[in-house]
Structure 1
């Protein structure tokens, strides 16, 4: 089962109108009416937030545009990558009320479960078991048919910005290529009618149009610990819908200032597009069709709620989940001048250049050209280690590729194929994504690129403004007393009753002296002048807080001391997949001298993040590991992912604490006081590192890999070639960490294993250079011994490595860190009173 090697977000005319359900081909007039109806809640939100035309257009794209990744999530990911998504398990309408607790999904307020009061669909047979959503009166008529006209074709573009380098004419790629589809009932997850769907075959397989039981049922019983397979992997069976994801699928979440009374049934006014979903279990969604004893499930489905390993598909074999970013006061986010940036820039012509790798003009368009050049730019540092450092527009677009847009035209052939073990073959390592080639060959690329300024304007809009605790509490009071007021003085008074007299003022002093060198963006902080800083100062020009409360400068991973694997992320290095999205300045950073793993290419750092509205965004750290573990406790226990995988371990860091000693998880609670309680608990852990129970993600099942083909005659299985490997979840009574396998550089290990037999002298010199004479010699000796042991019995590999664990855990590991909630010990020496004061002050920011 070689695939198992893969390790594997003034327009408002009237409120929402429900149109009658029809399964017939719609007229153009009816279709236009439907598109407008499903957009109305979005236009209402634009009016509520005070967004202009460009900001509103960007918001609609953020919420709806999949840019063609429905093919990736339906075909490419399943068949090319070999990882299965069970969309019915995630989106089935009869479990709509449990989605938030199970998957962290934000339900679409406009959708409904068929058969419920006022729902246009009266039976789940009409919607193939899914929610009914606005626009489905047209879309359902095209399931199993061609000719569907995507609602994005009616998207109303905002006017072009003045002074655009491509001229005043509107030459934007057709909005149809944004690909909106209709909602699945989960905000940010969109559906499209599958023209290849065979209704008769579906009924024969599932016995009902609403059921997917035959589609996701195993086609062969598992044997000898091997994972069962299902029709999810069967290309001959077509589902009724193709499913795509918008960027908002990870970022749309509940408004901290106005949370829903019932998280399973939010209203539109409870929802914001940029706050970041700290409950999403996007990793579990992406492997929802995989049995839990597969390597893919064990390696991928362990990111905490609100975090995702965005390099899991474009894998760098470094286990590094990171939080979904909360986009707050982006207009005040620091930028860095003088960065050396090689990138494509708008141009009016390609005069003097005929090389399309350096300059290209879009055919049929006058003066719409792009030229590649190295220049000094002012740029943001976007990702956890400062990557995505060539410009905000490019950083936004890269997200679309990372979630599958243009995957067949531009992405998949550049990824590392973890099944390819021959270093001479394509796919052994990564190749850089080619922005110029993708622009030429993928219309979805151009559709997004031409509207990136609208998305960035949305990022800068009022919807991304701060969500202060004072305002949240005032809003809470106004639900029962419309004229209620809750001033800054009221907040300070309440905090001082809780944390002690003068706590907020004292906390400000502590913050200035202890934290501001990293967590202030004011020029005075950069100059070391902390005492006079006003952290609440408002910019009179735009009403935003002056201080972004983070300087976005990089700090070495060893200095901050947190789980360092994310800092070793390698995808933006030269020669790697996202090379073109990293600046030369980024790659010129020296490695962290105190980190034992390779850290070349600008790696080994974390940027100093913003602390704006910290009260609403616990748990903390780049992986959400600091603070209580979050859990949804869904009614359907098969989706209770926290219960499947507790995290707290004993002092050895390799054995789970008994169930009665595991600290209680914190049940999902997006209410104002729920967020505040979680903030206080997380701050206590932050400031008291000695009291933290260590957290490590361990395998919770043995993994069985069948290497080699087999035949199945419907009653029995026969292995033809190869062998079977069982990766144990425990060795000598100690748990095996997910990182041990996720960080294992198996390709280099296998290459060196071969070289130990065919070129030992050259290998020895290389190993000595890497590890020193003593360790290099020991590694060579053990590699020779393993090669001898495997002759005639290749299934002895696991036992050979068990006898020499340092090879997989140290020598051939991209990251050896284990404890996920360690580090950031700043403030631990404060007195108890000062810690309380700091917690009080930070709650006001």
Structure 2
């Protein structure tokens, strides 16, 4: 690896850019969501961490007391694994003065043509914030200087190595005031560690071509850094401290392994989980020319009279300036719908912000607070993140920005190249593997499959130019050393044409006026709405990228939400950490009593290939798919209005609503409750304004009827406030039309391309796909 590639890998694996404060304080204080880090990372369950959470254990860490481990008991490490660097870090738990390992980071030379390629220009690397490993790849820990050992012992039965008291539920009786609250929310007790997250937390995974014999005990050569962890349960991790009958747990913890709703915190109120991007053969990924982009660009100086909102120079660093303006550029389209289309460097930067870096300096005030119901108040809705302000005010932002090119060097390096199945199977060449496939699927199957692919798939899933019939899909690049064809053209296809679960295509955070406005090109936002979708599009929404099929064999199940193919599940020994819930329903949407079995996590070559075969079969035979709709599996209970003390005990009385089990979880994740509440208020105070709002949504001919429906709803709720769920259910069609951001329900629908092929051609196509 080059010095830049090595530097980029270290940043990718270790740098949190200060987001430990977000995951320890800000998330729970501003979002009301608790993470139980000990539940996830406790050393005595190290061998179950993969099965429960899909996390990859750090080979350089050990459970205290295990053979050869420097730590002899959980008391030495506060219940966590012992990891490299902890001999120093543990000295500073409860003390100030810790010197982060990132301070010793050695920068490689800047690219010679970069305007800031002068020594001393880069931000202090201490602000990369490495800490030490928690025992799970990509999750890093930092000593908490505010930790009080005596308070910790009091909370945890006299133990330093346990978090059980800190994580306990405060009350189990629904009538008590602390019902659904955990000790985790008690600000008077500080944990020993602050936990941060690097990019590697989601992207580091087992090498498909060299998986570990035991997933709980991998070696370093079993890991690969950018492929994406298809077993991770990041959504469950992020709400791990919440009660399972809470709104947050039931709505946000249902994404499939390997998928995550990255707009859950910067919420757009669209339920849109997506797979963790597999960054493979990025060197060959298509780029798009002539995109109109308004963004900041590095400069050597600013005009004397420049406004800092248009040009800014960093104080004390002569020649390190940034100038904002519009220009035509060639860029990648990064996210599922083609968002993050302002250049790869800014795409890296946005990910760090999205996982909590600089949250207090420049992110939180732009986010929607779901509990803020006054439209005149801050955080009622989103406002655009300001790159210029964040660069000025947050050193962590500058620390990443000054080294983002090194991260890109790593992602373009051989460490992110393809891991083809023929190599994983141990064949000497692709030709040998083709012979084996022809024995498995029938003589000439792969050659016939190539023809079927060219005729039916290559228009979307090939990056070469020229007639599809003459393309060599395995031809190596003459310059890059990898396959020339990226096996996807990355162009945007209307979501209605793809037909899959549509919510991810309705992601709205990159629209004008929304949180990530500065991370999308004007070309992206100028795309025509998809007129064939039932939901509102426009502003760039309504499309899916035509993704790459490189290493398809290793990335089943399929689609942007991992929904086409068998369901995956871990098999942890502790049933409390078994998060699988069957999404299978009948034609009427009722939960199946005897659903298809889930596939247990199996990262072996044989396990991946078995999952690939089953997933391709579902892909090509949509009529055989059993519908999937993730449902709430426990009733959600939430108090509304004032609570009254009974005067004799801790019990409270008041109104509590209950959302019944069996309700589609996406219904709540994609519902604009603020608009509904605002309209209900208007139905009492200003009916003319209500009708104006209805005209904007449904047109003048239907506005009166819809306004009357909201007026009737309001009256019914005021008369029977404890029946609000039942009242709303009676009006679901109206409420869905007016307030749902996405009306898709079946998660494994669509992508019916190839369903009419003869069975022999489907088998041949499967054989060919196994060669990609």
Bin for the TM-score computed over the shorter chain: over 0.9
Q: How big is each residue's C-alpha offset from its partner over 1:325-375, in whole Å with a ceiling of 9 and x where there is no partner? A: 110110110011110100000000111443111111000001000001011
Shifted more, 274-283 versus 779-788: the winner is 779-788
Counterpart Cα distance in 2 of 1:715 and 1:54: 68
**Contact 1:222–1:228 (CA under 8 A) maintained in structure 2:** no
Q: How big is each residue's C-alpha offset from its partner over 1:283-304, in whole Å with a ceiling of 9 and x where there is no partner? A: 0000000001000001100000
Alignment of 1:545-556 (within 5 A): 545-556=483-494
Q: How big is each residue's C-alpha offset from its partner over 1:222-276, in whole Å with a ceiling of 9 and x where there is no partner? A: 3159842111111111000000000100000000111100000000000010111
Q: Are positions 1:389 and 2:316 aligned together?
A: no
Counterpart Cα distance in 1 of 2:357 and 2:674: 28
Aligned residue in 1 for 2:400: 448
Counterpart Cα distance in 2 of 1:311 and 1:746: 17
From 645, 649, 659, give the equivalent of 1:716.
Answer: 649
Q: How big is each residue's C-alpha offset from its partner over 1:670-689, in whole Å with a ceiling of 9 and x where there is no partner? A: 11111111111000000000
**Contact 1:710–1:717 (CA under 8 A) maintained in structure 2:** no
Aligned residue in 2 for 1:573: 511
Counterpart Cα distance in 2 of 1:580 and 1:213: 43
From 207, 219, 232, give the equivalent of 2:170.
Answer: 219
Secondary structure class of the residue paired with 1:791: helix
TM-score, length basis structure 1 = 0.89
Counterpart Cα distance in 1 of 2:645 and 2:258: 41
Counterpart Cα distance in 1 of 2:209 and 2:341: 32
Alignment of 1:600-619 (within 5 A): 600-619=538-557
From 210, 219, 231, give the equivalent of 1:279.
Answer: 231
Q: How big is each residue's C-alpha offset from its partner over 1:760-794, in whole Å with a ceiling of 9 and x where there is no partner? A: 23322432442245643332112111222333653
**Contact 2:175–2:651 (CA under 8 A) maintained in structure 1:** no
**Contact 1:100–1:107 (CA under 8 A) maintained in structure 2:** yes
Q: Are positions 1:155 and 2:115 aligned together?
A: no
Q: Are positions 1:672 and 2:605 aligned together?
A: yes
CA-CA distance at 1:205 after TM superposition: 1.3
Counterpart Cα distance in 2 of 1:101 and 1:715: 46
Aligned residue in 1 for 2:147: 197
**Contact 2:171–2:179 (CA under 8 A) maintained in structure 1:** no
Aligned residue in 2 for 1:486: 428
CA-CA distance at 1:541 after TM superposition: 1.7
Counterpart Cα distance in 2 of 1:347 and 1:85: 42
From 800, 808, 811, give the equivalent of 2:727.
Answer: 800
Secondary structure class of the residue paired with 1:717: coil
From 643, 665, 679, give the equivalent of 1:738.
Answer: 665
Q: Are positions 1:682 and 2:615 aligned together?
A: yes
TM-score, length basis structure 2 = 0.98
Alignment of 1:398-547 (within 5 A): 398-474=350-426, 486-524=428-466, 529-547=467-485
Counterpart Cα distance in 2 of 1:227 and 1:623: 34
Aligned residue in 2 for 1:95: 45
CA-CA distance at 1:797 after TM superposition: 2.4
From 607, 630, 633, give the equivalent of 1:697.
Answer: 630
**Contact 2:490–2:545 (CA under 8 A) maintained in structure 1:** yes
Q: In 2 relative to 1, CA 715–702 (structure 1 residues): closer, same or farther, beyond 3 Å?
A: farther
From 590, 601, 606, give the equivalent of 1:655.
Answer: 590
Aligned residue in 1 for 2:10: 60
CA-CA distance at 1:814 after TM superposition: 0.5
Aligned residue in 1 for 2:208: 256
Secondary structure class of the residue paired with 2:656: strand
Q: Are positions 1:646 and 2:596 aligned together?
A: no
Aligned residue in 2 for 1:478: none
Counterpart Cα distance in 1 of 2:129 and 2:279: 24
CA-CA distance at 1:160 after TM superposition: 1.6
Secondary structure class of the residue paired with 1:229: coil
From 658, 668, 673, give the equivalent of 1:726.
Answer: 658
Q: How big is each residue's C-alpha offset from its partner over 1:503-542, in whole Å with a ceiling of 9 and x where there is no partner? A: 0000001111111100111122xxxx11110101111222
Aligned CA-pair RMSD: 1.5
Aligned residue in 2 for 1:180: 130
Q: In 2 relative to 1, CA 776–354 (structure 1 residues): closer, same or farther, beyond 3 Å?
A: same
Q: Are positions 1:209 and 2:160 aligned together?
A: yes
Counterpart Cα distance in 2 of 1:673 and 1:115: 34
Counterpart Cα distance in 2 of 1:309 and 1:296: 13
From 565, 574, 581, give the equivalent of 1:627.
Answer: 565
CA-CA distance at 1:321 after TM superposition: 0.3
**Contact 2:62–2:69 (CA under 8 A) maintained in structure 1:** yes
**Contact 1:167–1:367 (CA under 8 A) maintained in structure 2:** no
Q: In 2 relative to 1, CA 392–547 (structure 1 residues): closer, same or farther, beyond 3 Å?
A: same
Flag as ranges the 4+ runs of structure 1 deviating above 6 A. 711-715
From 19, 25, 34, give the equivalent of 1:69.
Answer: 19
Counterpart Cα distance in 2 of 1:711 and 1:276: 49
In structure 1, stretches of 5+ residues that fail to align are 1-50, 475-484, 730-734
Aligned residue in 1 for 2:119: 169
CA-CA distance at 1:159 after TM superposition: 1.5
Q: In 2 relative to 1, CA 206–840 (structure 1 residues): closer, same or farther, beyond 3 Å?
A: same
Counterpart Cα distance in 2 of 1:715 and 1:264: 52
Shifted more, 436-445 versus 591-600: the winner is 591-600
Aligned residue pair count = 770
CA-CA distance at 1:486 after TM superposition: 2.5
From 567, 570, 586, give the equivalent of 2:524.
Answer: 586
Secondary structure class of the residue paired with 1:641: coil
From 534, 552, 566, give the equivalent of 1:596.
Answer: 534
Aligned residue in 2 for 1:557: 495
Q: How big is each residue's C-alpha offset from its partner over 1:540-566, in whole Å with a ceiling of 9 and x where there is no partner? A: 222111110101100000000000000
Counterpart Cα distance in 2 of 1:489 and 1:197: 61
Alignment of 1:809-820 (within 5 A): 809-820=736-747
Secondary structure class of the residue paired with 2:140: strand
CA-CA distance at 1:580 after TM superposition: 0.3
Counterpart Cα distance in 1 of 2:735 and 2:247: 16
Counterpart Cα distance in 2 of 1:224 and 1:491: 64
